[in-house]
Amino acid sequence: MKLYRFITHQDNSEFCMRITKLLNNGWKLHGNPTLTFNGKTPIAGQALVKKVKGEKFSDNIDLKEY
């Protein structure tokens, strides 16, 4: 099964650490990062994917477990 996540947060070290943690847990970057401005702060976004063997799709998947 292939999992997909899109992470958004203020463009700061906390966002970078979230992405770094996911990369070190087997997630891979998917596409280019995005950057927008909400009127106060820049907001970054990054899509990630991960292949998980032996799992079947379910509407109840908790992506934070992976």
- pLDDT given at position 16: 96
Q: What is the pLDDT of residues 32-44, one digit of tens each?
A: 999 999 999 999 9
- pLDDT given at position 65: 83
Taking alpha carbons only, the member of 29, 36, 39, 31 closest to residue 9 is 36
**Mapped to the 3 state alphabet, what secondary structure does 2-58 carry?**
EEEEEEEEECCHHHHHHHHHHHHCCCEECCCCEEEECCCCEEEEEEEEEECCCCCCC
Residue 55 has pLDDT above 90, yes or no: no
Q: Which domains does the chain have, with CATH numbers?
A: 2-54 (3.30.70)
Q: What is the pLDDT of residues 1-33, one digit of tens each?
A: 999 999 999 999 999 999 999 999 999 999 999
Q: Compute the distance between CA of residue 17 and CA of residue 23 in angstroms, rounded to an integer.
A: 10
Q: Compute the distance between CA of residue 14 and CA of residue 27 in angstroms, rounded to an integer.
A: 17
